[in-house]
Amino acid sequence: MTKKKERVERSREERKAEKERKRLIREANRMLISAPKKTANSMGFLSFDPSGAFCFDGGRWVKVFEVTGSIKGAVKAALKVKSRIRITERIAPAKGESHTARAFVSLIAEGDIYEPVREQFEADEVILQEMIGVRSLTVDEAIKVILMQLGGEKRSFSYASFVRAKRDLLKEISPEIVEERDHFQIEGSFGMSMFFMEYPDEVSGDTLSLLKELGCPVFVTFDLVGISDLDKEDYVRTLEKRYSRTLNRDSVQEFLNVSGQLTFLCDSKDAMEIIKKTVDTIFARAGFLISPVFGGQKDSFLSQISLGLLDYKNLRNVGVETMNEIFRREYGGNQNEVRADEDV
The confidence score (pLDDT) of residue 234 equals 67
pLDDT greater than 50 at residue 341: no
Do 279 and 262 contact (CB within 8 A), yes or no? yes
What tens digit of pLDDT does each residue of 210-245 get? 888 888 999 999 999 987 666 666 666 666 677 666
DSSP assigned state of 312: -
Give the model's confidence band at 96: pLDDT under 50 very low, under 70 low, under 90 confident, else very high. very low
Do 91 and 162 contact (CB within 8 A), yes or no? no
The confidence score (pLDDT) of residue 174 equals 86
Domain boundaries, the chain: 18-331
Q: What is the mean pLDDT of residues 97-106?
A: 71
Separation CA 60–CA 64 (nearest Å)? 14
What tens digit of pLDDT does each residue of 27-58 get? 667 789 999 999 999 999 999 999 999 999 99
The residue among 132, 144, 137 whose CA lies nearest residue 337 is 132
CA distance readout (Å), 281 to 20, 46, 291: 56, 42, 12
Give the model's confidence band at 26: pLDDT under 50 very low, under 70 low, under 90 confident, else very high. low
**CB count in 10 Å sphere of residue 330:** 21
SS3 of 206-228? CCHHHHHHCCCCEEEEEEEECCC
The confidence score (pLDDT) of residue 95 equals 45
What tens digit of pLDDT does each residue of 109-157 get? 999 999 999 999 999 999 999 999 999 999 999 999 999 887 656 778 9
Residue 59: alpha-carbon gap to chain centroid: 16
- E strands, the chain, where? 33-34, 45-49, 53-56, 60-67, 84-94, 97-110, 134-136, 177-179, 184-186, 189-198, 218-225, 255-266, 289-292, 316-319
Separation CA 234–CA 257 (nearest Å)? 14
What tens digit of pLDDT does each residue of 253-308 get? 688 999 999 999 999 999 999 999 999 999 999 899 999 999 999 999 999 999 99
The confidence score (pLDDT) of residue 338 equals 41
Q: What is the mean pLDDT of residues 188-200?
A: 94
Q: Phi/psi of residue 342, each to 5°? A: -70, 135
Q: What is the mean pLDDT of residues 313-325?
A: 90
Could you give the 3-state DSSP secondary structure of residue 199?
A: coil
How much of the chain is helix, strand and coil, in % rounded to 5? 45, 25, 30
Give the model's confidence band at 311: pLDDT under 50 very low, under 70 low, under 90 confident, else very high. very high
- Lowest-pLDDT choice from 77-91, 135-149, 152-166: 152-166
Do 306 and 146 contact (CB within 8 A), yes or no? yes
